[in-house]
Structures are given as C-alpha cells and as structure tokens.
C-alpha cells in the first residue's frame, strides 16, 4: 500500500466520524508534521483490524470514501507490509493468538498460544513491560476483553480458550488500567448472571462460565470502577476502569440475514476516546491496544455487509487515535491486521465473471460512495489465509514500518518506546 498524499483531506465519512465522537480537528496532520515526530516518544496506540488485509481496506475505502477518497488509516504517512506465518508444526497459517504473541513478545509460536513459546514457556509481554516502566496501560475491543489479541499483551497461557484465567491474570499480574469490551461471561462463575442475562434470546448459548470466582467483585476490590452501559462509561471519571458491555462479543457473528447484528452497546470509537482520556493523565506515558473484532468474525461468515460496517467503526476509532496523536506528538499510532480472513478480493460487477456458490459465491454489489458505480466481494474461504497485511503508522518511529517485515517487527518497534 502506498501513501498517496500528506495533505489533510478528510473524506466526509471521516469528518463525520470525528464530529460524532465529539472531537476537534484543531490539530490536523499537515505536510509539515506528517513525518517522524521530534523528541522522545512516550505513548503507543496500537490498532488491530482483526482479519484485515489489503482487500478489506480497499473495499472499505470504496464503500466509505469513494473512488478518489482515502481512509484515515491509509492517510497515515508511513506504510509497509507484515508477514504473518506462525511457528506451528501443523500449519503455516496463523490464528489470532500466535499473531498477537508475535506482536507482544517478538517471538513466533503455535496457534492457540497466548504469549508462550513453542514449548509452552511464558514470555515477557509488552503490556507488563510498559507497566514496569511506569506507563499506564489499557485495552479496548469489540471482542471479549480476554480474547486472543488483547490477551497476548497482558497474559500468558498455553491455551487461548482459558479466558477466565486470562481475566485473573489481568487483575492479579499485569493490571491494565483500562479494560473495555465484551466477555462478561468469563468474569463470573456459572449460574451467576451479571448485567447481561444468561441465555439471551439472540444467542441462548451465552452464559456465565468462569471458574475463578467473581472476578468483577475482585476488580472492584482492587480499585476498578465497573461499568456495563454506554451511559455509565461516559460518567466514569479517572482511575482504573473495567467495562464489560456484553456476554461475549459485542455483536452477533452470523451469515447475512441469519441473525447477524453489529450494534455494540458502546462503540469502539467511544471506548477508545474514554481510554485515551483516562490513560493520558500519566506523565510517563501509556500503551493502548485497540481492536475491531467484527472484521474477522464477519469475514469468517463471508458476510460482506457486516464486515464493511465493522470496518467503518474501526475507521472511526482510528480517527479518534489520529486526532489525539496530532495534538500529542510524542504518540505513535500503528494500524494493521493480525492476519487475512476470507481470501477476499474486490471485483467488478461484470455478470460474465464466474460467481461460484457456497464459499466461492460473490457478495454484493456494494455502492462506491459518491458515484454511480459498485463493486462485489469474492470470498475464497471461510478461514484465514497467509496473505501479507498492510501496516500504516504516524508519529515517532513510524518510519520503521516502511518495507516488508515479519510480524515480530511490531514488537521490536513498540519495545523501543514501552520498555523504557
């Protein structure tokens, strides 16, 4: 992916997203400040579009910004590519756990591993190292807060499925200051429903299932303010913050027209803005992990409509982060994906092109913003692929993301800021 221009030319959708988030463009990126920031970096905002690769970003660009538009994530002035292969004896294709472990530890491992090496030994993680360096830390996701990608930065376990153990480690070991997302089921023992009832009509399989006791009560005893609605989140002021806004993910990830819903009780942009306002009071800086999980989950279901919706919400969160960094030049913002999902291509609507059926079926057409044209999405799998993922960055050390690197390179760059 190439960077087309360093001028600040917001597409209407981005301007609307920023306005909706209550933000100001008083400190825009300009040609003068689009390069590497001068001075010492203190903060990192690392943003994961789970399952997002080049075709996903291009589909979002056409749909949200138009033929001549650009996404905020693509306007960041430095860009490159990351390879994603794990060190798994069974497959060269990564899952989110192994990919995030590469980011968080600088070491490749097997699929399903949360920041342990191929022999199951725990590895140092950037979330804990940032805390040891005196920085504030936080995570924001539309997945369970204990899902693989955020977990890799703040926990160690040989099995990504042990989400209640990951929650326990958050509270008792790595202590992130802000934890916002879904997954309340893992914080409460079976039979004890929380703010979100067990066996909801939209998914009767969801119910409390933790084995580590009442971790929400434990969080409160450790000084966390617990919130479960957008209104409570907005009212929260300072201090440590735990927000769980759903039993599991903050959406229903099904095939199109089969109960698929993307309507998080608290939007990714809103959670990101609250996390930044909370973490930024630390003079030593902060580390914030931000993730949009819906891209991956809906791509697994070959659901282009909801995937594009999730990409739009990611774009709003990127606008929040970029706007923060524009007025805080000691902040590095990085946007990438952990792997490709769906084997996706963006195609013309030509009826003579093969369409296929099942997994090979074309999806769409989807309108190109501001034009009379449209495009289709063509899926080749319901799983992950080994395609490279784009990475774009802004701020101190951003230039180190140019070129093509293994995904462990993320750790090498971020560690320069977070471990000192």
Q: Has 296 been labeled as part of a binding site?
A: yes
CB 317 within 8 A of CB 47: yes
d(CA 397, CA 415): 11
If one counts the domains in the chain, the total is 1
pLDDT confidence of 352, banded at 50, 70, 90?
Answer: confident
Residue 298 domain flag: yes
Residue 7 domain flag: no
Residue 310 domain flag: yes
Residue 217 domain flag: yes
Burial bucket for residue 25 (CB in 10 Å: 0-12, 13-18, 19+):
middle
For residues 131-140, give the mean pLDDT.
98
Residue closest to 36 by CA, chosen among 343, 394, 365, 297? 394
**356 has pLDDT over 90:** no
Residue 155 tokens read as 């926990």
Please tell me the predicted confidence (pLDDT) of residue 40: 82
Residue 232 domain flag: yes
Residue 15 domain flag: no
Residue 363 domain flag: yes
Please tell me the predicted confidence (pLDDT) of residue 22: 37
Q: Has 411 been labeled as part of a binding site?
A: no
Please tell me the predicted confidence (pLDDT) of residue 194: 95
* Helix (H) or strand (E) segment spanning residue 104: helix 96-105
Q: Has 338 been labeled as part of a binding site?
A: yes
For residues 229-253, give the mean pLDDT.
96
Q: Has 50 been labeled as part of a binding site?
A: yes
Residue 8 domain flag: no
Q: Has 328 been labeled as part of a binding site?
A: no
d(CA 187, CA 157): 17
* Helix (H) or strand (E) segment spanning residue 90: none
d(CA 10, CA 12): 6
Please tell me the predicted confidence (pLDDT) of residue 15: 37
Q: Has 420 been labeled as part of a binding site?
A: no
More confidently predicted of 14 and 312? 312
For residues 44-69, give the mean pLDDT.
98
Mind telling me the catalytic residues?
96
Please tell me the predicted confidence (pLDDT) of residue 361: 77
- Render pLDDT for 181-230 as a digit per residue (tens, 0 to 9): 999 999 999 999 999 999 999 999 999 999 999 999 999 999 999 999 99
**8 has pLDDT over 70:** no
Please tell me the predicted confidence (pLDDT) of residue 120: 97
For residues 275-294, give the mean pLDDT.
98
Burial bucket for residue 108 (CB in 10 Å: 0-12, 13-18, 19+):
buried
pLDDT confidence of 354, banded at 50, 70, 90?
Answer: low
Q: Has 149 been labeled as part of a binding site?
A: yes
**107 has pLDDT over 90:** yes
**131 has pLDDT over 60:** yes
CB 311 within 8 A of CB 64: yes
Q: Has 177 been labeled as part of a binding site?
A: no
Q: Has 409 been labeled as part of a binding site?
A: no
What's the CATH code of the domain at 304?
A: 3.40.720.10
pLDDT confidence of 353, banded at 50, 70, 90?
Answer: low
**47 has pLDDT over 50:** yes
Structural domain including 405 reads 37-418
For residues 81-96, give the mean pLDDT.
98
Place of tokens 């538009």: 69
Percent of the chain having pLDDT more than 70? 89
Sign of the C-alpha dihedral computed for residues 5, 6, 10 and 15 taken in this order: positive
pLDDT confidence of 135, banded at 50, 70, 90?
Answer: very high
């Amino acid at each position: 992916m190439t960077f087309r221009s360093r001028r600040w030319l917001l597409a209407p959708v981005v301007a609307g997203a920023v306005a909706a988030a209550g933000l100001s463009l008083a400190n825009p990126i300009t040609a003068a400040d689009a390069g590497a920031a001068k001075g010492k970096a203190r903060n990192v905002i690392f943003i994961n579009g789970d399952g997002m690769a080049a075709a996903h970003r291009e589909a979002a660009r056409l749909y949200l910004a138009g033929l001549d538009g650009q996404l905020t994530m693509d306007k960041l002035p430095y860009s490159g590519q990351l390879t994603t292969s794990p060190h798994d004896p069974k497959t060269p294709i990564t899952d989110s756990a192994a990919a995030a472990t590469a980011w968080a530890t600088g070491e490749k491992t097997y699929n399903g591993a949360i920041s342990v090496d191929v022999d199951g030994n725990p590895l140092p993680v950037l979330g804990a190292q940032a805390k040891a360096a005196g920085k504030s830390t936080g995570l924001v996701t539309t997945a369970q807060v204990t899902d693989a990608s955020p977990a890799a930065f703040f926990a160690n376990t040989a099995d990504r499925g042990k989400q209640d153990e990951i929650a326990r480690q958050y509270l008792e070991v790595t202590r992130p200051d802000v934890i916002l997302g879904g997954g309340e089921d893992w914080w409460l023992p079976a039979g004890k429903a929380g703010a979100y009832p067990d066996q909801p009509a939209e998914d009767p399989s969801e119910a409390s299932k933790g084995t580590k006791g009442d971790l929400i009560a434990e969080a409160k005893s450790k000084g966390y303010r617990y919130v479960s609605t957008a209104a409570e989140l907005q009212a929260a002021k300072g201090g440590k913050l735990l927000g769980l806004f759903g039993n599991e993910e903050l959406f229903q990830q099904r095939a199109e027209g089969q109960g698929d819903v993307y309507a998080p009780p608290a939007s990714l942009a809103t959670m990101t803005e609250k996390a930044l306002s909370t973490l930024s009071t630390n003079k030593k800086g902060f580390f914030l992990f931000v993730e949009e999980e819906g891209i991956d989950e809906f791509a697994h279901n070959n659901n282009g409509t909801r995937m594009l919706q999730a990409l739009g919400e990611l774009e709003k969160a990127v606008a929040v982060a970029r706007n923060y960094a524009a007025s805080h030049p000691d902040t590095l913002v990085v946007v990438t994906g952990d792997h490709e999902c769906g084997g996706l291509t963006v195609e013309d609507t030509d009826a003579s092109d093969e369409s296929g059926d099942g997994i090979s079926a074309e999806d769409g057409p989807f309108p190109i913003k501001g034009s009379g044209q449209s495009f289709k999405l063509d899926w080749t799998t319901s799983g992950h692929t080994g395609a490279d993922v784009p990475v774009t960055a802004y701020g101190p050390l951003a230039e180190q993301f140019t070129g093509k690197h293994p995904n462990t390179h993320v750790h090498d760059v971020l560690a320069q800021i977070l471990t000192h």
